[in-house]
Chains A and B, each alone.
Chain A
Amino acid sequence: GESVGLHLPTLSVQEGDNSIINCAYSNSASDYFIWYKQESGKGPQFIIDIRSNMDKRQGQRVTVLLNKTVKHLSLQIAATQPGDSAVYFCAENMEGFQKLVFGTGTRLLVSP
């Protein structure tokens, strides 16, 4: 869709599977991380966030893991549903700066 690059990484799963979307962030000084979901024709929608003093945070059907050693974030979606089909972006921010830096995004395709 309009929100993504032509060569966006794509993850295809079956309904009911667990999905894991990965992201490498760039700035070791970043201390706030967010996952967004973007459906075609819409703006990014907040899913879950995590601060650098944590390594795991759970929401409803979603879990974010943070590995600061290797500057890696992951989003786990349990029991993936067709409505989860979208592009997922990770974003990083530094405290004191309201200036998100976004990853390139991953397209998640969920088949019924």
Chain B
Amino acid sequence: KAGVTQTPRYLIKTRGQQVTLSCSPISGHRSVSWYQQTPGQGLQFLFEYFSETQRNKGNFPGRFSGRQFSNSRSEMNVSTLELGDSALYLCASSLAYDEQYFGPGTRLTVT
């Protein structure tokens, strides 16, 4: 069974731009969660989607948003990028309320 895939793997953007990251969960998984990983703050939860609905949300500003499609694929969007948004963005999928499997992440650099 294929694992969680994330695209693109690397991205460079400039301040003020917006970005969209994509995540394809493991087949059959309906929950997709997003995390931000930085050297200073570690791994932090952004939000979780289940059956196209946001079920849980972390403490990030409204510039961070996401959505999930009927095939469980998910996207997250960051608008008006700031230097501090440079991070590894990780997506994880699970069946429902259980073990989360992580993708390799998208490395976003904001200049």
A interface list, Cβ under 8 A from B: 2-6, 34, 36, 41-46, 49, 89, 91, 95-105
Instruction: Please indicate which of the listed interface residues B33, B44, B97, B104 has the most CB atoms of chain A within 10 Å of its own CB.
Output: B97
B33 & A41 in contact (Cβ 8 Å cutoff): no
Q: Sample 19 A-B pairs with CB under 8 A, ordered by A number.
A: A2-B39, A2-B88, A2-B107, A3-B88, A5-B39, A6-B39, A34-B99, A36-B102, A43-B90, A43-B103, A43-B104, A98-B31, A98-B33, A98-B48, A98-B96, A98-B97, A99-B56, A100-B35, A102-B44
Roughly how many angstroms separate A2 CA and B49 CA in the complex, as a whole number? 26
Note all chain A residues with C-beta closer than 8 A to B45: 99-101
Nearest CB of B to A42, in Å: 6
Q: Are B42 and A102 in contact (CB under 8 A)?
A: yes
Name which residue of chain B comes closest to A34, CB basis: B99
The residues of B with any CB-CB pair to A shorter than 8 Å are: 4, 31, 33, 35, 37, 39-40, 42-45, 48, 50, 55-56, 58, 88, 90, 92, 94, 96-97, 99-105, 107
Q: Are B42 and A105 in contact (CB under 8 A)?
A: yes
With contacts A43-B4, A43-B102, A96-B97 taken as known, whether A3 is within 8 angstroms of B37 at the C-beta atoms is yes
Give Cα A74–Cα B83 distance, bound, in whole angstroms: 36
Besides A98-B31, A100-B35, 10 new A-B residue pairs in contact (Cβ under 8 A), listed by A number:
A41-B104, A42-B104, A43-B105, A46-B100, A89-B43, A97-B56, A98-B55, A98-B94, A98-B97, A99-B48
Q: Which residues of B contact A103 (CB under 8 A)?
A: 42
Q: How far is the CA of A49 from the CA of B94 in the complex (A)?
A: 14
Q: Which residue of B lies closest to A99 (CB)?
A: B56
Q: How far is the CA of A95 from the CA of B97 in the complex (A)?
A: 7
Question: In the complex, are the beta carbons of B88 and A98 less than 8 A apart?
Answer: no
